[in-house]
Amino acid sequence: MKTVGITALVPPELVFACGFKPFDLNNIVPTSDVRPRNKLCAWTAIWREEIMNGKLDLDSLVVVAGGDCHNALVDGERAAEKIPAFYLFYPFDGDKDYLKSQFERLSSFLGGIIDPEMMKTVKNVKKELIKLDQMRVRGMVSSELGFQYLISGSDLQGDPTAFREELSRIPQEKGDRSSMHRVALLGVPPIHHDFHREAEKLGLHIAFDEMPFEFIRHTGASLNELARDYADYTFARELKYRFNFLEEELKRRRVDAIIHCTQFACHHTLEDGMLREYLQYPTLTVHSDLPGPVPEQLKLRLEAFSEILWRRR
């Protein structure tokens, strides 16, 4: 099976249906020790560097360019010198017909749909991920364990059947999380691989991971269904649309506070002011750059944030 490297939200339903195995390039970044020379955002620069150095076994690349990130587009264009690349553009206005035409072009790039049943298979796995997400909301699964699987909603670790089996074996974890603060992680996923573990140690239970939730909540068993669902990808839409969505989701999950993860040279940093004005929760903004374990300065901020939330109780 050929492998296609993907960035952010590329429907795995479609990739598998075209006979390809998706591989989310961002998942290699948090544990990477690559330090690219020419970089803005470390996420895109690191996967670009790995592709340029021939370190990844990929047959092609799909970059979400429109509605996600211009840095990804440019680093993707550089990586396209090594492997064939496709640039996916989500509509800003949620136009489903436009998105369907984008998905049609993507499937032609991948050689066309050869196994449409795979869409249903992926859809069923995503149902299991939604259940896992709910278990974490109820505190039955730790922040870290939940995140570890939810973040794989983008590529199902390249094998939906094996991934589904793994999901069925996830144990409910012991430990009372009822006294912890319930926190929503908004913006980009943290670039520090132990972020969720460290946050939970400091009394912060992550009850919502924005990006992974986008990975698992959109699905469909046909091109039409996919276009209808994925057109709601909030990161691609205007900020107000995304904030309205978040407002409801945060209420539903009864979160106490927000951690807004931003990244050096990323537009999410610019959004911070508006996010704080719109979503009236105690908010900690985290500004990261290079991957690795959570640095001491960030631990201090998390600990102080946890103390502030205690004082508010």
Partner 1 sequence: MIRYGVDVGSTTAKIVSLTPELRYRIRETREWETLLEGIPSHEIASTGYFRHKIPHRVAATEITTAIYGVREYISDPEVIVDIGGQDTKVIDVQRNNFIVNDKCSAGTGAFLEFIAHHFGLRVTDLSEIHEKATRTIKINHTCSVFALSEVVSHLVDGCRVEDLIASIHQAFAERIAQMIPDDAGEIVLIGGTAQNRGIIRALEEILGERIYTPPNPQIINALGALRYGEEREEW
Q: Alpha-carbon distance 142 to 195, whole Å?
A: 12
Count of residues engaged in binding ligand SF4, rule: CB under 6 A = 11
Stretch that binds partner 1, among 12-20, 30-38, 175-183, 304-312 (CB under 8 A): 304-312
Which of partner 1, ligand SF4, none lies near 188, with the C-beta cut-off 5 to 8 A by kind? Answer: ligand SF4
Which of partner 1, ligand SF4, none lies near 199, with the C-beta cut-off 5 to 8 A by kind? Answer: none
Q: Which residue number, 37 or 311, has a Cβ lying nearer to partner 1?
A: 311
- The reply to whether 277 sits near partner 1 by the rule CB under 8 A is no
Q: Is the separation of the CB atoms in 208 and 185 below 8 Å?
A: yes
Structure tokens at 121: 């298979």
What is the total residue count of the chain? 313
- The reply to whether 45 sits near ligand SF4 by the rule CB under 6 A is no
What are the helix and strand counts (H, E) for the chain? Answer: 13, 8
- The reply to whether 304 sits near partner 1 by the rule CB under 8 A is yes
Residue with tokens 């021939």: 54
Which of ligand SF4, partner 1, none lies near 311, with the C-beta cut-off 5 to 8 A by kind? Answer: partner 1
Name residues whose C-beta falls within 8 Å of residue 6's C-beta, 6 or more positions apart in sequence.
Answer: 12, 15, 22, 23, 24, 25, 61, 62, 64, 154, 155
DSSP 8-class letter at 66: E
- The reply to whether 307 sits near partner 1 by the rule CB under 8 A is yes
Q: Which positions from 23 to 42 touch ligand SF4 by CB under 6 A, shown as an x/- string?
A: ------------------x-
Q: Alpha-carbon distance 204 to 181, whole Å?
A: 5
Q: Which residue number, 31 or 179, has a Cβ lying nearer to partner 1?
A: 179
Q: Alpha-carbon distance 15 to 11, whole Å?
A: 7
- The reply to whether 242 sits near ligand SF4 by the rule CB under 6 A is no
Q: Which residue number, 88 or 266, has a Cβ lying nearer to ligand SF4?
A: 266
- The reply to whether 282 sits near partner 1 by the rule CB under 8 A is yes
Which of partner 1, ligand SF4, none lies near 206, with the C-beta cut-off 5 to 8 A by kind? Answer: none
Q: Is the separation of the CB atoms in 233 and 245 below 8 Å?
A: no
